[in-house]
Homo-oligomer: A and B are copies of this chain.
């Protein structure tokens, strides 16, 4: 049970890598153990032997996918911590988009499927993985917004930036799907290029951040303004 032997590790590892790929392509529910073990060249029972069940395999797959992705593209984008915040900002945006863009990094596909259609199985482990990155990025945004920005204002802005990074990728993937299905989309990005997109998102967002900062410092944007009053209708 405890002792992990060589051969063991090898099948376990193959299984895990296949699982990342299949979960990324199909999502938890549509991925079958048969798919995964066929791709890994093992028997279906191997999954249950090595991981217990499909759920545990899913969680382990996320961990591996995230780990590999982060290893391939360090989150600071290679920018020195002493660089001006605008540059560190661009580094982060670029790194996120690379992590999401390269299809062998299954991080993005697994996560976006999970977020849209949650199984609940990854809630904790995704949060654990991502929270440190979120904090680091938040600190850069704080610098850009100035000392008078509230926590909530920082989080709103962070959301605006990250939203662009993820949606670019969803967009791009779906354009590919539409193309394959022979549907004319009128959508952009025919020659998709991560660097170009990162530049756009950076330019657009830095301008947004400067404006929010200006408003805060001109006193035209109190926290109340960005905070929620009790008036308009709530969701649910």
Measured CB to CB, the residues of A under 8 A from B are: 26-27, 29-30, 101-103, 112-113, 115-118, 120, 123-124, 127, 131, 134, 151-152, 155-157, 159-160, 162-164, 166-168, 170-172, 174, 176-178, 181, 183, 185-189, 191-197, 199-201, 203-212, 215, 221, 225-229, 231-236
User: In the complex, which residues of chain B have a beta carbon less than 8 angstroms from the beta carbon of A171?
Assistant: 159
Each complex incorporates copies of this chain amounting to: 2
**CB closest chain-B residue, reference A165:** B163
Decide if B103 touches A177 in the complex (CB within 8 Å): no
For the complex, what is the distance from the CA of A134 to the CA of B233, rounded to whole Å?
26
**CB closest chain-B residue, reference A181:** B123
Decide if A204 touches B200 in the complex (CB within 8 Å): no
Given contacts A167-B166, A203-B212, contact A191 B117 (CB under 8 A): no
User: Nearest Cβ in chain B — how far from A189, in angstroms?
Assistant: 8
User: In the complex, which residues of chain B have a beta carbon less than 8 angstroms from the beta carbon of A196?
Assistant: 225-229
Decide if A228 touches B123 in the complex (CB within 8 Å): no
What 11 additional pairs, Cβ within 8 angstroms, besides A124-B181, A160-B204, A207-B208? A29-B29, A127-B178, A159-B168, A160-B200, A163-B166, A163-B167, A191-B227, A193-B228, A194-B235, A195-B232, A204-B205
User: Nearest Cβ in chain B — how far from A164, in angstroms?
Assistant: 5
User: Nearest Cβ in chain B — how far from A179, in angstroms?
Assistant: 11
User: In the complex, which residues of chain B have a beta carbon less than 8 angstroms from the beta carbon of A226?
Assistant: 196, 199-200
Decide if B192 touches A215 in the complex (CB within 8 Å): no
14 intermolecular pairs with C-beta atoms under 8 Å apart = A103-B235, A103-B236, A116-B116, A116-B170, A123-B181, A127-B185, A155-B187, A156-B197, A156-B200, A163-B164, A164-B164, A192-B235, A196-B227, A203-B211
For the complex, what is the distance from the CA of A178 to the CA of B123, rounded to whole Å?
7
For the complex, what is the distance from the CA of A207 to the CA of B145, rounded to whole Å?
14
**CB closest chain-B residue, reference A174:** B115
Given contacts A163-B167, A232-B194, contact A183 B124 (CB under 8 A): yes
User: Nearest Cβ in chain B — how far from A122, in angstroms?
Assistant: 11
